[in-house]
Amino acid sequence: MNMNYAIIGDVHGMLEPLERLLTKLGFTYQQGVYQHNAYKAVFLGDLVDRGKHQRGVLELVRKMVDAGHAYAVMGNHEHNTVGYYWRHPKTNKYLVPHKAFRNKMHAAVLNDYPEKGEDTQEIMAWMSRLPVYLELDGFRAVHACWHDVSVDALQPFLNEQNQFHSEAFIESFDCSTPVYQPLSRLIRGATMKVPGIVDDFGNVHKNVRVQWWRNEYQSWDELLTRESDVRQARGMPLPEGYLDDLYYAEDSPPVFFGHYWFNGNPGHLTSNLACMDYSACVGGQLVAYDWRVAEEPASKGLRQDRFVSVDSHSFRD
Ligand SMILES: [Mn+2]
């Protein structure tokens, strides 16, 4: 039998919706691992932060991956979390400085994995080895953005499973290295200079997230990804160009990504692009795409009826 794939968006510590989604997809819990005889799960990164069940989610997913029932790619939250815990081997400074907003961001993980906890280093090492992207049976999986130029630029720093060589992982936190930019493009997404946008923490953003899956835009709503960014940008002249470089060709394999806090009815963006993040950790939905290998000739494009979702609004513990 062909192996099929259940491609799942940002979980962010939401254990109960994750178990409900896996059950809805036909996975069963046997010998301590969720499994399915015809499917593997593909997690699109951002397993951690925000939700209350960091350990529960990480253990569930890690067991699936280690037993061959799932793949998982690295999200910006996994990258930041490991960097928050780990120090540079030469300078002994934390790879991600412990600023107030970082302390807040990683509080849930810190609660489940104290810095000196007995299995903390092990789970951080596991997260540091997550592949940066995957190319599986006819589709691609990446946390935020597929960009061929960046994928190529990362090759010297990755092994054949697209995992970082350990020195390159350390370098990936340093913006002066050649690892930083291409990694950021893939796991943090495409950004553009739009002056004067302020985030929820009061930081002025030099670069704001853009909708890389478009090749043209007529309004700020079609260019920026966050409502608060759009609100602040209205009235400013629209910038020109830039997205051309990002355009994802229609004849390339479908790309599944997360990262972007979508709302509303889950569905694909184009015939070969789908964001699977529907804001599960703030009362949205946890969403999967049911990819059936035997039935997916690339020419037919993604299908609305293959999106499977569970609500997470009723779950607030
Ligand atoms: Mn996320």
Residue 206 has pLDDT above 80, yes or no: no
- For residue 241, report the distance from its CA to the centre of ligand 1, in Å: 27
C-alpha 75 – ligand 1 centre gap (Å): 7
Q: Give distance in angstroms: CA of 90 to centre of ligand 1.
A: 31
**Euclidean distance between CA atoms 253 and 271, whole angstroms:** 10
Least confident of 25-34, 207-216, 236-245: 236-245
Tokens of 271: 């015939």
How many Å lie between the centroid of ligand 1 and the Cα of residue 260?
A: 7
Give the residue-averaged pLDDT of 129-144.
97
Assess if residue 316 is contained within a domain. no
- pLDDT value for 298: 55
Q: Is 94 inside any structural domain? A: yes
From 308, 251, 315, 314, select the one nearest 26 (Cα to Cα): 308
Distance 259 CA to ligand 1 centre (A): 4
Asked if the model's pLDDT at residue 100 lies above 80, the reply is: yes
pLDDT digits (tens, 9 = 90+) for 253-312: 999 999 999 999 999 999 999 999 999 999 999 999 999 998 866 557 999 999 999 999
- 208, β-bridge pairs: 192
**pLDDT-based confidence at residue 19 (cuts at 50, 70, 90):** very high
Residues, beta carbon < 5 Å, ion ligand 1: 10, 46
Domain span at 168: 4-311
pLDDT at residue 140 is higher than 50? yes
For residue 78, the CA-to-ligand 1 centroid distance in Å is 10
Compute the distance from residue 48 Cα to the ligand 1 centre, in Å.
Answer: 9
User: Does residue 150 belong to any structural domain of this protein?
Assistant: yes
Statement: residue 138 has pLDDT above 70:
yes
- 192 is written with which tokens? 């553009």
Mean pLDDT, residues 180-202 taken together: 88
pLDDT of residue 52: 93
- How much is the pLDDT for 141? 98
Q: Compute, in angstroms, the gap from residue 278 CA to the centroid of ligand 1.
A: 9
Q: What is the CATH number of the domain that holds 256?
A: 3.60.21.10
pLDDT class of 90 with cuts at 50, 70, 90 = very high
- How many A from CA of 12 to the centre of ligand 1? 7
35 assigned to some structural domain: yes
Give one DSSP letter per residue of the chain, joined into a string.
---EEEEE---TT-HHHHHHHHHHTT-EEETTEEE-SSEEEEE-S--SSSSS-HHHHHHHHHHHHHTTSEEEPPPHHHHHHHHHH-B-TTT--BSS---HHHHHHTHHHHHHS-TT-TTHHHHHHHHHTS-SEEE-SS-EEESS---HHHHHHHGGGB-TTSPBPHHHHHHTT-TTSTTHHHHHHHHT--EEEEEEEE-TTSPEEEEEEB-TT-S--SSHHHHBS-HHHHHHHTTSPPP-SSGGGGPPPTTSPPEEE--S---SS---SBTTEEE-EE-GGGTSEEEEEEE-GGG--GGG---GGGEEEEE-TT---
Q: 208 or 296: whose pLDDT is higher?
A: 208
Q: Which residue has the higher pLDDT, 247 or 19?
A: 19
Instruction: Give the number of domains in the chain.
Output: 1
**pLDDT class for 315, splitting at 50, 70, 90?**
very low
Q: What's the chain's average pLDDT?
A: 93
Please give the pLDDT value at position 1: 61
Residue matched to tokens 């997913």: 61
What distance in angstroms lies between residue 258's CA and the mean position of ligand 1's atoms? 7
Tell me if 49 is assigned to some domain.
yes
Residue 58 Cα, ligand 1 centroid: separation in angstroms?
15
Rounded distance from Cα 165 to ligand 1 centre (Å):
24
Q: What is the mean pLDDT of residues 19-43?
A: 98
Cα 282 to ligand 1 centroid, rounded to whole Å? 11
